[in-house]
């Protein structure tokens, strides 16, 4: 039985990855921080099937002890604050956790159990203001917020530890990926949650920023499969992972509200204070992942939105059209 250590197991990506690995008969060790309150909502249904361990990514001894105790075959670092726009309010903390935290983790692997295969969740935010669209593995980086800067530091740390110490260490450059487990602070979940609540008569208005903002949105459940596939290769390498398409916030509204037979124009108001100061077109070129991993996303943008609306309808006790559940069963068999 293979052992996998997942840092951030309780988050969106960590919970989907834990399910994926359990289905492949892994022993899953879920690492959570010991210093802050943690919600187990995303993993409540699998808590009896995984081992939970606590530690501090700011403490080298804590990470060393974890590697010493479990000797995992695979290590997935999915532990990081992921709300890029808010990173300006905690720039130093983000740098310590997202950037230096990865160096501490790589040091723990190098010193304690160097045969472990390591996955680092890099981010499309590293491109920031891209020089080309779509972006691939050779597109120059130009981050524009502390989160993107810290992710870039961690990305290059992973590359350099691979080259200097011959570790099996890889980065997946992940574009926006969403699911019903995404917090409501993110625009995708904000929209699907509001569509459900407006349908139920619990809300009557939705405030949004730039409706022309564009993103490459895919399904998180697809992306964790790519993470795993990267660690099964004979040689370590980095890959861009995304849907490969861009859609606007308007597209998201169209899909979410029409799914529940509503016209979003009647409920949505634009709030200029919610506009991002900087907007970029981030679109994944997943050619390399298709060619070398044999991976490509299974869930379309439309299907993703329907999955999320279904979940939000069920959350407030309304019957959903049920298309989301059928989509997941069709593509993932669960």
pLDDT at 328: 62
Whether 3-174 and 178-216+245-281+299-332 share one fold: the answer is no
pLDDT in single tens digits along all 334 residues of the chain: 999 999 999 999 999 999 999 999 999 999 999 988 889 999 999 999 999 999 999 999 999 999 999 999 999 999 977 666 677 888 999 999 999 999 999 999 999 999 999 999 999 999 999 999 999 999 999 999 999 999 999 999 999 999 999 999 999 999 999 999 999 999 999 999 999 999 999 999 999 999 999 999 999 999 999 999 999 999 999 999 999 999 999 999 999 999 999 999 999 999 988 887 667 899 999 999 999 999 999 999 999 999 999 999 999 998 877 665 566 666 555 4
Rounded to 5 degrees, what angle do the CA atoms 125, 179, 174 make? 25
pLDDT at 319: 80
Mapping DSSP to helix (H, G, I), strand (E, B) and coil, where does residue 213 land?
A: coil
Contact by Cβ (8 Å): 82, 133: no
Determine which one of 74, 125, 178, 225 is catalytic: 125
Mutual angle of helices 301-315 and 323-332, in 10-degree steps: 130
Residue 128: both structure tokens together: 């920031």
Determine which one of 15, 82, 123, 194 is catalytic: 123
In the chain, where the domains are located: 3-174, 178-216+245-281+299-332
pLDDT at 128: 94
Contact by Cβ (8 Å): 148, 123: yes
pLDDT at 323: 64
Mark whether 125 is an active-site residue.
yes
Residue 87: both structure tokens together: 């990173």
pLDDT at 90: 84
Determine which one of 147, 153, 223, 259 is catalytic: 147
Mark whether 147 is an active-site residue.
yes
pLDDT at 88: 81
Mutual angle of helices 101-112 and 146-165, in 10-degree steps: 20
Mutual angle of helices 220-232 and 323-332, in 10-degree steps: 10
Please report, for residues 163, 211, 244, 257, 262, the alpha-carbon distance to residue 254 in angstroms, rounded to integers and kept in the order given: 46, 11, 20, 6, 9
Fold of 3-174: Rossmann fold (3.40.50)
Beta bridge partners, 123, equal 174
Residue for token digits 């779509």? 134
Mark whether 205 is an active-site residue.
no
Mapping DSSP to helix (H, G, I), strand (E, B) and coil, where does residue 203 land?
A: coil
pLDDT at 84: 67
> 178-216+245-281+299-332 in CATH: which number?
3.90.25.10
pLDDT at 318: 87
């Amino acid at each position: 039985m293979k052992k996998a250590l997942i840092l951030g197991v309780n988050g969106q990506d960590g919970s989907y990855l834990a399910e994926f690995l359990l289905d492949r008969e892994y022993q899953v060790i879920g690492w959570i921080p010991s210093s802050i309150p943690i919600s187990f909502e995303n993993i409540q249904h699998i808590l009896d099937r995984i081992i939970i361990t606590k530690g501090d990514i700011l403490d080298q001894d804590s990470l060393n002890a974890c590697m010493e105790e479990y000797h995992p075959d695979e290590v997935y670092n999915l532990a990081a604050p992921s709300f890029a726009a808010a990173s300006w309010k905690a720039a130093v903390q983000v740098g310590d956790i997202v950037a230096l935290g990865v160096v501490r983790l790589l040091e723990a692997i190098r010193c304690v159990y160097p045969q472990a295969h390591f996955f680092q969740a890099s981010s499309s935010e590293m491109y920031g203001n891209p020089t080309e669209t779509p972006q691939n593995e050779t597109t120059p980086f130009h981050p524009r917020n502390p989160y993107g800067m810290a992710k870039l530091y961690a990305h290059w740390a992973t590359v350099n530890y691979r080259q200097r110490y011959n570790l099996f260490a890889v980065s997946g450059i992940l574009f926006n990926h969403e699911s019903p487990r995404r917090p409501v602070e993110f625009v995708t979940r904000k929209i699907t949650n509001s569509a459900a609540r407006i349908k139920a008569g619990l809300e009557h208005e939705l405030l949004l920023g730039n409706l022309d903002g564009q993103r490459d949105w895919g399904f998180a459940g697809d992306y964790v499969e790519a993470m795993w596939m990267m660690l099964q290769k004979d040689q370590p390498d980095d890959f861009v992972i995304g849907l490969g398409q861009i859609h606007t916030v308007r597209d998201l509204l169209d899909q979410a509200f029409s799914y529940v037979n509503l016209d979003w124009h009647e409920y949505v108001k634009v709030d200029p204070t919610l506009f991002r100061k900087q907007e970029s077109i981030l679109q994944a070129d997943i050619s390399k992942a298709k060619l070398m991993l044999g991976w490509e996303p299974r869930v379309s943008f439309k299907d993703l939105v329907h999955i999320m609306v279904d979940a939000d309808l069920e959350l407030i006790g309304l019957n959903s059209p049920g298309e989301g559940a059928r989509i997941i069963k069709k593509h993932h068999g669960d």
